[in-house]
Chain A
Amino acid sequence: MSQLPTTTIIGLEVHVQLKTATKLFCGCSTKFGSPPNTQVCPVCLGLPGALPVINEHAIELAIRAGLAINCDIPPLTKWDRKQYFYPDLPKGYQISQFDLPICADGCLEIVDPADADATRRIGITRAHLEEDAGKSMHDEAAGRADSRIDLNRCGTPLLEIVSEPDLRTAEEALAYLTKLKEIMTHLGVSDCEMQEGSLRVDANVNLHIDKHGQRIATPIVEVKNMNSFRNVVAALHFEVDRQYAEWEETGHTIETHGKRTFGWDDVKGVTYPQREKEESADYRYFPCPDLLPIRIPSERVEEIRGSLGETPEETRERLQSQYGIKAYDADVIVSQGRAMVEYFDAVAMASGEGKRASSWIQQDVMRTLKEQGGDIESFGVTAEQLAQLLSKVSSGELTNDRARDVFKHLSENGGDVDQAIKALGIEAVDDSEMETLVKELLTANPKVVDDVKNGNQKAVGSLIGQARGKNPNANPQKVREIALRLIEQA
């Protein structure tokens, strides 16, 4: 039986954790991975009598994000309470935004996955701020059926970005998410670390089936708990097939069955129903009486707009043309966020070595950051130092290997480049000293001399290793030059 023509309708709700040092309504740290319940206070625990106070930085980041996805920033926004009972929601309500979100009516253009020359415009309904809930951990103490609650995450600021149901394929959804993540990272709005939950995706999906000119809509399914883009794609593919099969079998439509909530089982690769939404939850939204509405003057919006700078695309193009690096390399650097781009710019500019800067950053800097677990803003080797180091390499003052030693020393111990060179005992070897060394080597290696005389200049290579064995500061280039000159003169 052949399948009827079908259109997939997908809308995404993306929760992005804003990169603030402290929570949305109190001064507790938002650091990830601390021992349970160590980053809490009466406010984020919702203790009787405690009151929320807005974190201005979260407002600024939300506006940055909203402007980057082409949203309007209304002059007035307010806070609402969304009521439901859950053990990891200590107040019994979540402070969120209901009818006056901070960002409205935006859009994102993506490259059409089906046609690289075409673009698709995906509408963004709104983006609103809200506080995160805590985390329930079930049965974690071995063999005991108990539940524990970690409230460290309570009150962490989230921006929920809601798209229009404009996406038509899992691939489009992937392109949208990838672009959204790139923008948020680039602007420093969020880390977008899915493993740490700082980017979470819910997908609303259903099918419009064309049966002899009549359009039939299947029930909408909201798929929750997807913790990677790969899972989003897999879940959407699965859901498309499942919904068609279900419709063939049961004839259920949106009119008869409305909306349901499903989860995604990563191991089995299936979606599964979580709870029926026949009676939709009544969140009893109402304005939060503890917080005043926020007025955002248009001057402030324009000020933030002016500080947004270039888009990731513009940056990628500029890095390629300005420094002559490859598209792939530009992409890696840009994907690390704006701070990394600034670091690269500084190194490349000061050293005049764009390509070398690109490869050092992708290899040495990023690897060291991963090992040390920090970010580029607080990295031990400043852009000026790395630039200085690369200049020394290009002038032949340091070999690549010795420069790596210096880099390692700087990243571990701090200090400046000259101090590091001194500490490592790296000294420039003067020419006469070098000549003496090469002469000794030539005397000890008559075969090399013969080979070179017979036209095999590469034979000199074996001397370089020996030279560096005797003096680690010997410059390979110099050794080669001197050896060839001496053999010729002999």
Chain B
Amino acid sequence: MLDSALEVLRLQAAGEASAVEIAERALDAIEASQSTHNAYTHVDRESAVAAAKSVDAKRAAGQPLGALAGVPIAVKDVLCTSDMPTTCSSEMLRGFRPPYDATVVGKLRAADAVIVGKTNMDEFAMGASTETSAFGITKNPWDTSRTPGGSSGGAAAAVAAGTVPLSLGTDTGGSIRQPAAFCGVTGLKPTYGRVSRYGLVAFASSLDQIGPMAWSADECALLMNVIAGFEPRDSTSLDQAVPDFTLATESNDLRGVRIGVLRESAQAEGIDESIRNAVKHAIGVFAELGAEIVDVDLPHREYWVPTYYVIAPSEASSNLSRYDGAHYGHRAGAEAKDLVSMYCRSRAEGFGAEVKRRIMIGTYALSEGYADEYYNKALKVRRLIRGDYDAAFSQVDLMLGPVTPTPAFPLGDKIDDPIQMYLCDLFTVGANLAGVPAISLPGGFDPSGLPIGIQLQAPTLEESRLLFAASAFQSATDYHTQRPNQ
């Protein structure tokens, strides 16, 4: 029951379970899994039950109910919540309570969803393993010796562990899709600007996007309907009509759909055989559903990761300047004798190693005399990358490829090797640099039983097309219905 929002809605409508009962079940499941998986940084039983009670009361009074009435949902701890701490899994913001809700959080409340807690993540969303969190690592529910991926590792694990049917993650370079792949769930990174970023604590503002995570594309569509849409408080929000995304999942007929395959990407070195096989298998499934398979190339693909690792840290170095100990968050104690030492100590104590590393990279890339060599050059390459996408999407409707080079890797495996960690974004960052939507969906298992994700990318604003194709794939396969042994 806690693996399907649609089932939760049905149970309540049929009078088989109340919102409070469902919330209690979710909270109990969290309590049972937390010591094993540590998917949450904060759980608020009291406010969750109160929210569920008000849903039950509304239903009893015959009042209209929101689209997610009584559905338990977990929210990544990078989204502002006025009634719960927002920490970004950092010492810097431990205990910080924003005076306002992120727009998406407000939309969840308006849809009568029950927010049960905040999910663990890599500190300030920097990482691919949820090992940089100041609140301890999150473990992959399929194999607790492995990482759930990152930075939305907690959001993916919360779904995979069966604590909630839906969660919200954020994706700057693959942070929804990679953990979705590692945890065997479906995760959608919408078009940049499709979902308001207001109240999303910024990592790299020009790349960040909020998106849904759930077992299936149908359930992601349900959540997309609630969170998408123009908002004047976010200047980069797109003033575009929002379709009913759930309609996209009603047909399985892919005849006439041209799917481009990044063939050489699946053959590149360092890619696990099981991933290669899963992509090959997915091509077959799509072909059987009627899609036309076409080879495509994104010529500047080799520059994705280096471009990303200049632009994202540059923006991060600026966005994280506000954590200086002066106004809120962690402040160094009495040993700081003057202003500058207060800044230095507060930041030295508040930030973890990965965040510091990226601040240093970004500061260097933006500094006088180096900006042209790094930051400005990266902006130029980013334009070329967008051009590649435009050219590719003039030939095909969707692109298919891997999400990650390997299935979930063991905890501790890459944490001391930042370059290896950065290569986890090899296949995902392109969509962020180009601003296009992309989805990760369960596409098989490796010989040891670890889930494997496959990725579909679509032109700007074509989330419906992604959900349509993903849902068709899921009607023909059962990978998204598999659950970890717990």
Interface residues of A (CB under 8 A from B): 42, 45-54, 81, 83, 85, 87, 90-93, 149, 282, 284-286, 289-292
Contact = CB atoms under 8 A, between A and B. Distances in A.
Given A54-B235, A90-B322, A289 B327 contact: no
B266 interface: no
B366 interface: yes
Contacts of B339: 87
B318 A93 contact: yes
Contacts of A91: 321-322
A306 B324 CA distance: 47
B166 interface: no
B367 interface: yes
A353 to B, nearest CB: 50
B157 interface: no
B98 A47 contact: yes
B455 interface: no
Nearest to B232: A53
Given A92-B324, A284-B366, 7 more contacts: A42-B99, A48-B96, A51-B234, A83-B321, A83-B366, A149-B326, A286-B371
B322 A289 contact: no
B252 interface: no
Contact of B235 (A50, A87, A284, A290): A290
B198 interface: yes
Interface in B291-334: 314-315, 317-318, 320-322, 324, 326-328
Nearest to B201: A48
Contacts of B340: 85
A41 to B, nearest CB: 9
A291 B237 CA distance: 10
A49 B322 CA distance: 11
A294 to B, nearest CB: 10
Contact of B315 (A46, A92, A289, A292): A289
Nearest to B99: A42
Contact of A292 (B86, B233, B235): B235
A45 B80 contact: no
Contact of A49 (B102, B343, B363): B102
B199 interface: yes
Contacts of A46: 322
Contact of B98 (A42, A53, A83): A42
Contact of A47 (B99, B366, B367): B99
B33 interface: no
CB-CB nearest 10 A-B residue pairs? A92-B321, A289-B205, A289-B206, A284-B366, A49-B199, A48-B201, A49-B80, A282-B368, A87-B326, A49-B201
Given A85-B321, A90-B322, A284-B318, A48 B367 contact: no
Interface string B48-82: 00000000000000000000000000000001100
Contacts of A284: 317-318, 363, 366-368, 371
Which one of A42, A49, A149, A290 has the greatest number of beta carbons of chain B within 10 Å?
A49
A90 B327 contact: yes
Contacts of B326: 87, 90, 149
A42 B93 CA distance: 16
B375 interface: yes
19 contacts: A42-B99, A48-B88, A48-B201, A48-B202, A49-B79, A49-B201, A52-B235, A53-B232, A53-B234, A83-B366, A90-B326, A92-B324, A149-B326, A282-B367, A284-B317, A286-B314, A286-B371, A289-B204, A291-B235
A48 B324 contact: no
A83 B88 CA distance: 22
Contacts of A42: 98-100
Contacts of B258: none
A92 B339 CA distance: 14
B197 interface: yes
Contacts of A54: 235
A93 B102 contact: no
Contacts of B88: 48
A175 to B, nearest CB: 36
- Which of B200, B232, B318 lies at the interface centre, i.e. has the most chain A CB atoms within 10 A of its CB? B318
A285 B369 CA distance: 12
A50 B98 CA distance: 10
A468 B86 CA distance: 77
Q: Size band of the B side of the interface?
A: 35 or more
B236 interface: yes
Contacts of B363: 284
A248 to B, nearest CB: 34
A286 B102 CA distance: 26
Contacts of A291: 235-236
A292 B234 CA distance: 10
A85 B343 CA distance: 8
Contacts of B236: 289-292
A42 to B, nearest CB: 6
A276 B367 CA distance: 20
Contacts of B86: 48-49
Contacts of A286: 314-315, 318, 366, 371, 375
Interface in B89-122: 93, 96, 98-100, 102
Contacts of B324: 85, 87, 92
A93 B340 CA distance: 16
Which of A45, A282, A291 neighbours the largest number of chain B CB atoms within 10 Å of its CB?
A282
A51 B326 CA distance: 20
A49 B86 CA distance: 10
B327 A45 contact: yes
Contacts of B366: 83, 284-286
A290 B206 CA distance: 7
A437 B359 CA distance: 92
A284 B318 CA distance: 9
Interface in B118-170: none
B65 to A, nearest CB: 28
Contacts of A52: 235
Contacts of A92: 318, 320-322, 324
Interface in B208-252: 232-236
A49 B235 contact: no
A51 B99 contact: no
A471 B100 CA distance: 67
Nearest to A79: B235
Contacts of B206: 289
Contacts of A47: 98-100, 328
A53 B233 contact: yes
A87 B346 CA distance: 13
B448 to A, nearest CB: 40
B204 to A, nearest CB: 8
A48 B318 contact: no
Contact of B322 (A48, A149, A282, A290): A48
B371 A51 contact: no
A81 B363 CA distance: 13
Contacts of A48: 80, 86, 88, 93, 96, 98, 201-202, 322
A47 B199 CA distance: 9
A91 B1 CA distance: 44
A93 B321 CA distance: 7
B371 A290 contact: no
Contacts of A50: 100, 198-199
A245 to B, nearest CB: 33
Nearest to A48: B201
